Structure formats: C-alpha cells, structure tokens
Structure 1
Amino acid sequence: MIFHSTLLEDAWLIELEARGDERGSFARTFCTEEFGLHGLETVYPQQNTSFSKQRGTLRGFHYQQAPHEEAKLIRCIRGKILDVIVDLRPASRTYMHHQGFELTQDNRHQLYVPAGFAHGFQTLSDDVEVSYLVSSPYFPASERGVRYDDPALGVEWPLPVSVISQKDEAWPLLGHEAGSR
C-alpha cells in the first residue's frame, strides 16, 4: 500500500499495490503494522457495505459524536463515487475544511477518514457498491450529520442530486446543531 497525505490533517488516500499474473491480481487492503506506522486506527470491529442503484445518489454527511467517534476506511468496489470528508475537530488546523476524492472500482483507492470527520459521497455511476471498515460499532444516540448543501462548507457536488434520504436532507446546518458537537 502507498499512503498519500491529503490536504486534511490525519486523512490519507491509500493506493493499493496490485500484483498480477495470468490469474488476475492480488492486493493487500489492510495491514495492522503499516496502518500503525502511519498512526492510523488498527482495530475495526465493524464492516459495512452500501449499494446505490442510481447515478447522482447522495449519502451523508454522517459522523458519530464522542465517545463513539469512528474512523473509517472507505473503498468503492463497484462503480464510481466522489467521496467528501469534512474535518469537524475544533482543535485541528484543518477544522471545517473539506476535500473530495474520486474512488472507483478501477483506481481501487481507499480513503482513511479519521475519527471526528463527517463523511458523505455521491455516486457518479449506476449500481455502486461501497465497502467500509468502521472503528466503532454504530451507536444510535451518537449519530449525527451535517447537510450536504451547507453553505458554510461550500461543497460542489458534480451532479444534481437524484436520490437522497429524508434523514440526510434534514440534517442541520453547521451552527444550528443544538449542542450536537
């Protein structure tokens, strides 16, 4: 794996190093030792997958508040997404900054999202499947979100939103969370 730093403090884009032969290819997607050497989370008690049928589907922004914050390791295993993360850690030098990453079945990149970040993505193709490791089990009382179109963030999604859940559309704007952080 090749670890590329990003514009956001503690977030990493991870490039898989595939080895191939006549059978196809093989690549390591996670290694406790390599992640530990980069100061990244090494324990993931939960793995999730999402499937989105329609191009333009938007999921997020999601996070869990302390003490159930979660780091995530995101990979698009079918199709193509724009994955956007937002640093919500007040003590971070990149607080309230965001960055987008194109994750595809072809580039096979992974995104390491540190605890304290909100995460969301938009599908850039039909029939998209995303897999992610999560460092903390889901705890409903700690679930929070930020609106995908919050003007304080200014995220420019590449496509019109074709599908979004009522819950994601109703997340509060930053500064209107009524003590959620």
Structure 2
Amino acid sequence: MHKALYIGLFFFIIGHTTLFAQVKKEATLVAKDTVKTNEIDPLTPAKAAFYSALLPGLGQAYNKKYWKIPLVYGAIGTSLYFYLDNNKKYHQYRDAYKRRIEGYSDDNYSYLDNSRLIAGQKFYQRNRDLSALFVVAFYALNIIDANVDAALLQFNVDENLSVRPVIYPNDVTLKTNVGLTFNYNF
C-alpha cells in the first residue's frame, strides 16, 4: 500500500511539474511575441532643459552625451572671452577720448587723433555687443540641444520601420545604382 501511495505521489508531482513547466513555456512564448516597449516619460525633455538652464552642460550630462559638454563650455567661454576683451578695449578708448576732451594728452593712444578714438570706441562697442549676443545665443542653444536630445532619446528606433541606402548593379547596363529601401513591418 505504501508503494502505491509513493508511486501515486511521484506521478502526481511529476504531473504538476510538467504542468507548471508548460505554463512557464507559454509565458516565455508570449513574452517573445510581444514588443518590448519603453515607457516614455514626457517630463524628461523638460528636466534636461531645466538642468541646462541651471548650469550649462548639465542637461547634456543628464542625457549622457558627455562629449557635448566641452563644446558647450568652449562656445560660451570663447564668446565670453571676446565680450570681456572688447569691453576692456572699449573702455580704454573711451577713457582716452574723455581725457583728450579734458585737455590731457598723456594716454596710451597719443598716436591717434580724436576721430580714430571715436571710431575705435564704436568698433569695440559693436564687437562687445555682438559677443554678448553670442553668449546668450549659445546659452539658449545649450538649453534647446538638451531638450531636443532628451526628446529624441525616447524615439523608437527599431527594425520594423527603416530606410536604408542600397547599392546594386543594373542588370542591363551593369552599372551600379544607388537607391533607398523602405521597410515597414507590423
């Protein structure tokens, strides 16, 4: 009687194990057939833009595009350098012109007449203002780049929709042709 009970228990366990194994196999088949979708966070582009506005380059670091950070600081830093340099030269020309009007002639630009001092002031003032515009433009471009890059990171790029360049020989003339293939799979 104990043998029959053990044999029955053995077949009962084996039967349920294969039943559970079949359920697991079906679950893996279902998982293979479904398309893995990444959840889209609509706040990610706004967060990247906020970080870039807070500190230039921080949005690029948030997007894990670390190679863009030196470009951001190079563009903003170069424009800021030219702004400060042109501002310094503008003030030198302006101070020299003011001293000339007051009657002094002991400035560093004694070899220039008054019209040249005025022209120098206008030149450096225009370049200073243009450099300030570039600083603001590169700062805004930094924010826009972080925002767009974060939005494009969520873009679905898979093999179901693709456009690829193709090079193939022409059957009649045996010359190479260049074309595009468009694939769309459901």
Q: TM-score range by the shorter chain?
A: under 0.3
Structure with the larger helix share:
2
Give the TM-score of the pair, scaled to structure 2.
0.17
Q: What is the TM-score normalised by the length of structure 1?
A: 0.18
By percentage of residues, which structure has more strand?
A: 1
Question: Which of the pair has the greater relative contact order for Cα pairs under 8 Å at 6+ separation?
Answer: 1
